[in-house]
């Protein structure tokens, strides 16, 4: 269901079908050459070199300059980019990629298998921790000819292909980096990739201009002459810019959720929350299991039942996002729809707390917890206030603490909190983006690990089975089992599958055509007359 065997046997078969989907998205209008796309980037990224910096804005803008071997459809099927085709050996250990012909870097150098191997084995191994953990599984990387790359793994690793999207493994020019410090090489300031747009100009605090790369390997593409990313730090100015047509596209958290309803009603704008399937961020109330009585499963279940997730998604996020049902987002592979947390039920929550022996005092308070508000803006403060009120109804007093972004990360990393809000990317596969929050081997004093301290040997074992199994069927079985256990034990209180609104003028076509949305290369994006 979520996994097809296509990925193992004939990945390329997926490609033609998807191209038709894209054509359909264009609604039969022939692509038109020319025009400049003005859009917004916020906050301003420090550099545009993927790997050296992997924050959201960097990935969006540098996604036009660099390309990976593959990208992924909204259902996370691989789509060829720099790899024309690929095969995977039946034992799941050998991956052979055939590269596209005639691919050139922006400085005119041809891209070969040497650049691909350098990018995987040296560049991203060195600069990107997430890539390092996975690419360490590679035993051998060889180039039998200049357009073929063969990777041999030490053990089968089924989510391996997901690591070849541009956001995880951009192909960088070996000749500009080899033998230098990758983080300080001159190419980091003047990024050179194979993408449809080349870096032209960057006025710090003002704009970044990318221009059409004439020698792009897809004939006739890209359609746009240039893309200008304006840096607009204020959210109300961003809203005005898209409303008045000064920019044609906004993405990520450019537009606050409360501004979305008004923009939805504008006839010239299109609002979509698609294009985040690869990342699929999931938000939850992060509980510190070292704080009593959060170690009691009945208390956690009660907290989960006391909260109305529909209210959160509809009233706080104005429908941008949807209620979470289990630890794996519904857009991530191996999500099991049959594993569900219990719904909103205040009476049942009260009964559970009574059963746990937590009697209310004269004020009706059973116990008090601190809540570290996520300092990412207003909607998160509203969420904290909502949680405070909902939990008070079942007799849990939540005391809110304000903080800044730096202190938030430090305190969560140091386990110095009772409860807070957290959200993390899932990267398409639970082994890549979900496991880290629940296995006891990842209890670390580092943010975005298992900071809550949840530990269950059975869960550890199931995640390990799913990680090491070569057959998607075995992995699905293990993930389904683990989702059932986690839904019973609710180690964290999952709230919402987050979505970010992509808002664009209807003149702009193909802005979202893959599971990475606005992070894509935009070589098929065009403006109608």
Partner 1 sequence: MRDFWRRFRRNKGAVVGLVILLLVVLVAATAPWLYPGSPWDMAGAPFSPPGEMGMLLGTDSLGRDVAAGIAHGARISLLVGAVSTVAALLVGVTLGAVAGYLGGFADDAVMRFTEFFQTIPSFVLAILLVAIFTPSIGSVVFAIAIVSWPPVARVVRAEFLSLRGREFVQAAEVLGKSRLSIVLTDILPNALSPIVVLSSLMVASAILLESALSFLGLGDPNLMTWGFLIGSGRSVIRLAWWMSVFPGIAIFLTVLALNLVGEGLSDALNPRLARQRGGAA
Rounded to 5, what percent of the chain is helix, strand, coil? 35, 20, 45
State the DSSP code for 297.
Answer: H
- Give the end-to-end CA distance of the chain in Å, rounded to a whole number: 41
Residue (22 or 407) nearer to partner 1, CB: 407
Q: How far is the CB of 65 from partner 1 (least distance, A)?
A: 34
Q: How far is the CB of 400 from partner 1 (least distance, A)?
A: 4
Of the candidates 457, 213, 427, the residue with the CA atom closest to the CA atom of residue 332: 427
Residue (130 or 388) nearer to partner 1, CB: 388
Q: How far is the CB of 505 from partner 1 (least distance, A)?
A: 21
Report the side by side order of strands in the sheet with 367-372. Answer: 322-323, 493-497, 282-287, 419-424, 367-372, 396-401
**Interface with partner 1 by CB under 8 A: which residues?**
256, 258, 261-262, 315-316, 373, 378, 381-382, 384-386, 388-389, 392, 399-404
CA 379-385-386 angle, to 5 degrees, is: 85
Residue (114 or 308) nearer to partner 1, CB: 308
Q: What is the dihedral of CA 365, 370, 376, 379, to 10 degrees?
A: 0
Q: How far is the CB of 315 from partner 1 (least distance, A)?
A: 5
Strand pairing class (78-80; 70-72): antiparallel
Q: How far is the CB of 256 from partner 1 (least distance, A)?
A: 7
Of the candidates 253, 251, 259, 249, the residue with the CA atom closest to the CA atom of residue 227: 249
Of the candidates 20, 36, 41, 44, the residue with the CA atom closest to the CA atom of residue 505: 36
Q: How far is the CB of 353 from partner 1 (least distance, A)?
A: 19
Residue (104 or 388) nearer to partner 1, CB: 388
Helix (H) / strand (E) element for 167: namely none
Question: Within a 13 Å sphere around the CA of 11, how many CA atoms are in the beta-carbon half?
Answer: 25
Cβ-contact 276, 497 below 8 angstroms: no
Number of Cβ within 10 Å of residue 458's Cβ equals: 11
Of the candidates 13, 40, 198, the residue with the CA atom closest to the CA atom of residue 107: 198
Residue (180 or 402) nearer to partner 1, CB: 402
CB-neighbour burial class of residue 307 (10 A; exposed 0-12, middle 13-18, buried 19+): buried
**What residue ranges in 204-250 does DSSP mark as E strands?**
207-212, 226-231, 249-250
Q: How far is the CB of 499 from partner 1 (least distance, A)?
A: 19
**Spatial distance between the Cα atoms of 205 and 420, rounded to a whole number of angstroms:** 32
Q: How far is the CB of 346 from partner 1 (least distance, A)?
A: 13
**Spatial distance between the Cα atoms of 451 and 418, rounded to a whole number of angstroms:** 11
Residue (256 or 270) nearer to partner 1, CB: 256
Residue (117 or 384) nearer to partner 1, CB: 384
Q: How far is the CB of 74 from partner 1 (least distance, A)?
A: 31
Residue (178 or 401) nearer to partner 1, CB: 401
Residue (89 or 314) nearer to partner 1, CB: 314
Residue (407 or 468) nearer to partner 1, CB: 407
Q: How far is the CB of 313 from partner 1 (least distance, A)?
A: 13
**Spatial distance between the Cα atoms of 70 and 83, rounded to a whole number of angstroms:** 6
Of the candidates 395, 392, 388, the residue with the CA atom closest to the CA atom of residue 366: 395
Sequential DSSP letters for 353-391: HHHTT----TTS-SEEEEEE---S-HHHHHHHHHHHHHH
Q: How far is the CB of 439 from partner 1 (least distance, A)?
A: 33
Residue (199 or 318) nearer to partner 1, CB: 318
Residue (245 or 261) nearer to partner 1, CB: 261
**Spatial distance between the Cα atoms of 61 and 64, rounded to a whole number of angstroms:** 6
Q: How far is the CB of 378 from partner 1 (least distance, A)?
A: 6
């Amino acid at each position: 269901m979520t996994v097809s065997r296509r990925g193992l046997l004939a990945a390329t078969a997926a490609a033609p079908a998807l191209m038709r989907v894209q054509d359909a998205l264009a609604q039969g209008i022939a692509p038109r050459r020319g025009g400049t796309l003005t859009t917004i980037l916020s906050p301003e990224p420090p550099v545009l070199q993927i790997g050296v910096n992997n924050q959201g804005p960097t990935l969006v803008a540098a996604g036009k300059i660099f390309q990976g071997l593959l990208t992924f459809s909204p259902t996370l099927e691989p789509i060829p980019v720099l790899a024309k085709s690929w095969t995977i050996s039946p034992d799941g250990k050998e991956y052979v990629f055939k590269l596209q012909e005639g691919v050139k870097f922006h400085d005119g150098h041809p891209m070969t298998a040497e650049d691909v191997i350098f990018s995987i084995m040296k560049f991203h191994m060195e600069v990107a921790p997430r890539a390092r953990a996975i690419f360490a599984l590679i035993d051998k990387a060889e180039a039998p000819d200049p357009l073929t790359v063969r990777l041999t793994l030490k053990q089968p690793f089924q989510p391996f292909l997901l690591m070849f999207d541009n956001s995880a493994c951009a192909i960088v020019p070996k000749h500009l980096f080899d033998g230098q410090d990758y983080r300080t090489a001159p190419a980091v300031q003047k990024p050179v990739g194979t993408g449809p747009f080349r870096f032209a100009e960057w006025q710090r605090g003002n704009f970044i201009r990318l221009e059409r790369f004439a020698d792009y390997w897809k004939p006739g593409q890209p359609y746009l002459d240039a893309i200008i990313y304006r840096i607009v730090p204020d959210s109300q100015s961003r809203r005005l810019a898209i409303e008045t047509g000064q920019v044609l596209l906004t993405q990520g958290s450019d537009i606050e959720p409360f501004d979305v309803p008004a923009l939805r009603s504008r006839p010239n704008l299109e609002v979509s929350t698609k294009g985040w399937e690869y990342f699929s961020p999931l938000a939850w109330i992060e509980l510190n299991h070292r704080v009593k009585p959060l170690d009691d499963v009945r208390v956690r279940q009660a907290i989960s039942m006391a909260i109305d997730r529909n209210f959160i998604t509809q009233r706080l996020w104005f429908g941008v996002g949807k209620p979470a049902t289990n630890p794996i987002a519904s857009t991530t592979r191996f999500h099991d729809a049959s594993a569900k947390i219990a719904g909103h039920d205040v009476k049942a929550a009260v009964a559970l707390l009574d059963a746990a022996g937590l009697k209310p005092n004269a004020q009706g308070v059973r116990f008090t917890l601190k809540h570290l508000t996520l300092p990412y803006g207003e909607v998160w403060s509203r969420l904290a206030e909502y949680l405070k009120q909902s939990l008070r109804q079942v007799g849990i007093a939540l005391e809110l603490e304000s903080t800044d972004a730096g202190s938030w990360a430090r305190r969560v990393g140091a386990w110095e909190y009772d409860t807070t809000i957290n959200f993390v990317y899932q990267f398409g596969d639970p082994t890549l983006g979900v496991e880290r929050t629940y296995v006891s081997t990842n209890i670390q004093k580092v943010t975005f690990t298992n900071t809550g301290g949840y530990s269950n040997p059975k869960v550890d074992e199931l995640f390990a089975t799913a990680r090491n199994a070569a057959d998607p069927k075995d992995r699905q079985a293990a993930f389904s089992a683990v989702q059932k256990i986690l839904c019973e034990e609710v180690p964290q209180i999952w709230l919402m599958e987050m979505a970010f609104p992509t808002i664009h003028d209807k003149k702009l076509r193909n802005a979202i055509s893959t599971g990475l949305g606005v992070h894509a290369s935009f070589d098929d994006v065009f403006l109608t007359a």
